[in-house]
Amino acid sequence: MREKQIDKLKDYKYGFTTDIENIRAPKGLNKEVIEFISKAKKEPKWMLDWRMKAFERLKNLKEPNWQKPKYPKIDYQDIYYYSAPKSTSEKPKNIDELDPKLLETYKKLGIPLQEQQRLNGIAVDAVFDSVSVATTFKDKLNEVGVIFCSISEAIQKHPELVKKYIGSVIPLTDHYFATLNSAVFTDGSFVYIPPGVRCPMELSTYFRINASQTGQFERTLIIADKGSYVSYLEGCTAPMRDENQLHAANVELVALDDAEIKYSTVQNWYPGDEDGKGGIYNFVTKRGLCKGINSKISWTQVETGSAITWKYPSCILQGDNSIGEFYSIAITNNHQKADTGTKMIHLGKNTKSKIISKGISAGFSDMTYRGLVDISSKAKNSTNYTQCDSLLMGNKCGAHTVPYIKNKNPESNIAHEATTSKISEEQLHYCQQRGLNPEEAVGLIVNGFCKEVLQQLPMEFAVEAQKLVGISLEGSVG
C-alpha cells in the first residue's frame, strides 16, 4: 500500500573526514608510547610517574566481561594512542591563528570557534583526536576566577589542583578501561570553579575523532569548590569508517560543600552502518563525588551514537544531604548495542538520588539499563527513586533492565519502577489521523516519552537533542 520509499540509511551528517597532517605516536601500547605522550604534552615528572604506575597495574588487569554487548577482542597493540594535527604542536595563542582546516571542521560541526561567530553564552573546549585545539571565552571566565582549559594545560599551569583531584574519584586501579585511560590519556577538559562563583556561562567540550586506527582517551576533571555552580556539556562525533574505534574516557567530578555540577552529554559518535560495520566503541567511566555537605551532581545523557556504548555515570553521595541525579535517553538502532545506567552510592546522611532512564531500541539493536542503588547502613534517612522505561520497536531488538538494589538502612527508602512496552497502534493512528506521517508520529511520541530527560538539558541543546532523537530512529518504522 505504501508507495513512499523510506530511506533506510540514516543520515549521519557528521561522517566527513578532515584531511589534515598528523603527528602520531608509533602504534602500540608500551612504555615508550606513554613517554611520547607525556613528552608531547610537556608534562612534569609526577604525571609521567602516575601514568607508569597505571601501566604497571594494567598488566595485572583483565577486561571486564559481565556486560551484555560482547565485542571482538581488541588488539591493544594495533591502535595509535596519540594523534594530533601537526599544526597544533605549538598551540596557537590566538584562535584566529588556528589551522583553517580545523576552524572549518568545527564550523561544519556547528561549533564555530572564531570570536565573531561564537555561540552566545557557551564557552567551548574543542578536542580533536588527542589534543585540545582551542578553548573559547577563556579571558571572560578568568575574570571571575573560573579555570576552563584543556587538561594538558592544567597539568602544567595548575598542578596543585590536578595532583589533588585526579584519580580521587576514579582510582587509578579501578578497572581495566579506567586504568588504561590513566596510562595513556591524551586530552580533555579541566574546570575549576572557585568558592561562591556561579559560572557565568555554559561550559562545553566538543570531542571529535578524526584520524583512523586511533583511540581517543579523554580525561576530564571538574571541580566545583564550596558554594559554586557549573553547567557543563559535552558533544561527540566521528567520521564514518568501517573500522571500530575506541573512545575510552575517564571523567571525574568533585563537588565540595554546597556546590552543584550539572553535566550533560549528547553522544553522537558514528554508530556504524546499517549492517553493523564500523562505529565507535564508547567505553566510558564517569563518576562524580558529592564530597561536601549539601552538594549536588546531576548527569544528563542523550546517547544515540556509537556501535557499543558502555557507561555508567555515577554519583558517590558522601556529603550529608547531598543529591545525585541521573537522567538518560539511550537509543539504539540497526546493530547498535548499549549497556548503560548509573550507580548511586549513598554514604552520607539524608542523601537523595533520582534515576530517570528512557531506553528505545529498534532494528536489530540491543539495549540494557544496568544500575546500582546502594544505601549503606550509615546513610540514614536517604531516598532513591528510579524510573526505567523501555520502548521496543519491532521484535528483532532487545530491551533489558537490570537494576541492583541494596538497602541496608531501615530509615531509608528505595523505590524502583520499570516498564517495557511499544508505541501503541492507537497512538500512532491518532497522530496519523491528524496528518503526521508514521516517522513524524513516532518522532513525536518518542520525544514525549523522553520529555522528562530532555527537559534537563540546557535550552540551547534541548532542541538539537530532540531532532537527534527523531533522526536516530529513522528507518525503524514501516
Residues that bind other proteins (CB under 8 A): 1-2, 66, 377, 383, 390, 392-422, 424-427, 429-438, 440-441, 444-445, 447-452
Conformation bin of residue 138: beta by default, left when phi > 0, alpha when psi is -120 to 50: alpha
Task: For the CB of residue 406, give the shortest distance to other proteins in the complex, in Å.
Answer: 5
**Residue 125, burial from CB neighbour count under 10 angstroms (0-12, 13-18, 19+):** buried
Q: How far apart are CA 210 and CA 214, in angstroms?
A: 8
Task: For the CB of residue 423, give the shortest distance to other proteins in the complex, in Å.
Answer: 9
Task: For the CB of residue 448, give the shortest distance to other proteins in the complex, in Å.
Answer: 3
Q: With respect to other proteins, which residue has the nearer C-beta, 94 or 395?
A: 395
Task: For the CB of residue 394, give the shortest distance to other proteins in the complex, in Å.
Answer: 6
Smallest CA-to-CA distance from 190 within 211, 210, 216, 160 is with 160
Q: With respect to other proteins, which residue has the nearer C-beta, 154 or 441?
A: 441
Q: Are 111 and 119 in contact (CB under 8 A)?
A: yes
Task: For the CB of residue 354, give the shortest distance to other proteins in the complex, in Å.
Answer: 15
Q: How far apart are CA 341 and CA 252, in angstroms?
A: 17
Q: Are 224 and 195 in contact (CB under 8 A)?
A: no
Task: For the CB of residue 388, give the shortest distance to other proteins in the complex, in Å.
Answer: 9
Q: What are phi and psi of 403, to 5 degrees?
A: -90, 140
Q: List C-alpha distances in Å: 266 to 23, 300, 338, 466.
A: 29, 9, 15, 11
Q: Are 208 and 235 in contact (CB under 8 A)?
A: no
Task: For the CB of residue 425, give the shortest distance to other proteins in the complex, in Å.
Answer: 7
Task: For the CB of residue 282, give the shortest distance to other proteins in the complex, in Å.
Answer: 22
Cα torsion 431, 435, 441, 443: sign: negative
Q: With respect to other proteins, which residue has the nearer C-beta, 119 or 436?
A: 436
Q: List C-alpha distances in Å: 129 to 263, 307, 355.
A: 22, 18, 32
Q: With respect to other proteins, which residue has the nearer C-beta, 200 or 398?
A: 398
Q: What is the number of other CB atoms lying within 10 angstroms of the CB of residue 83? A: 22
Q: With respect to other proteins, which residue has the nearer C-beta, 85 or 371?
A: 371
Q: How far apart are CA 254 and CA 256, in angstroms?
A: 6
Q: How far apart are CA 233 and CA 318, in angstroms?
A: 24
Q: With respect to other proteins, which residue has the nearer C-beta, 45 or 434?
A: 434
Q: With respect to other proteins, which residue has the nearer C-beta, 29 or 393?
A: 393
Grid cell 596519540 in the structure block, residue = 82
Q: With respect to other proteins, which residue has the nearer C-beta, 35 or 464?
A: 464
**Residue 110 carries which DSSP code?**
T
Task: For the CB of residue 375, give the shortest distance to other proteins in the complex, in Å.
Answer: 9
Q: With respect to other proteins, which residue has the nearer C-beta, 61 or 405?
A: 405
